[in-house]
């Protein structure tokens, strides 16, 4: 299954420049569906992949992308973040965990230092 997602990601990145991905989400989703139909994969999985791909690429910086990738791969539902700042990364962590788990099962704890 991992190999399929890598092939999809490679195909998408080779067809659409990184800057256009955020601007043309519908085009991106249709491209994913077309590719999945071409390899006869169940298209319901495409929505899950699309959500993960969007959260993963929305983050700036490799360390946050690795964090989202790890949450997705390990199917984590208990999340702790130290240094939440404005909560944007926490939100994306929760949304990524909700791909694999129902909303009530995801637990998020964020700590920050207020001066």
Q: Are residues 18 and 54 in the same domain?
A: yes
Query: CB-side exposure of 49: number of CA atoms within 13 Å?
Result: 24
Tens of pLDDT, residue by residue over 29-66, are 667 767 666 665 555 555 666 666 666 666 666 778 78
Q: Are residues 51 and 74 in the same domain?
A: no
Q: Of 35, 58, 81, which marks where a domain is finished?
A: 58
Say how far apart CA 101 and CA 58 lie, in whole Å.
Answer: 21
pLDDT of residue 6: 64
Q: Are residues 52 and 91 in the same domain?
A: no
DSSP state of 45: H
Q: What average pLDDT score do residues 81-95 get?
A: 86
For every residue of 87-108, DSSP letters joined together read SHHHHHHHHHHHHHS-GGG-EE
Say how far apart CA 50 and CA 47 lie, in whole Å.
Answer: 5
Q: Of 20, 38, 58, which marks where a domain is finished?
A: 58
Q: Which domain holds residue 69?
A: 62-115
Q: Are residues 54 and 2 in the same domain?
A: yes
Q: Are residues 90 and 48 in the same domain?
A: no
């Amino acid at each position: 299954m991992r190999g399929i997602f890598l092939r999809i990601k490679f195909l998408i990145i080779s067809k659409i420049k990184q800057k256009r991905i955020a601007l043309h989400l519908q085009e991106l989703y249709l491209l994913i569906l077309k590719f999945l139909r071409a390899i006869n994969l169940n298209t319901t999985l495409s929505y899950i992949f699309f959500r993960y791909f969007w959260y993963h690429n929305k983050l700036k910086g490799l360390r946050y992308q690795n964090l989202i990738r790890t949450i997705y791969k390990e199917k984590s539902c208990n999340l702790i973040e130290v240094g939440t700042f404005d909560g944007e990364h926490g939100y994306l962590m929760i949304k990524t965990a909700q791909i694999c788990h129902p909303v009530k099962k995801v637990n998020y704890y964020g700590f920050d230092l207020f001066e």
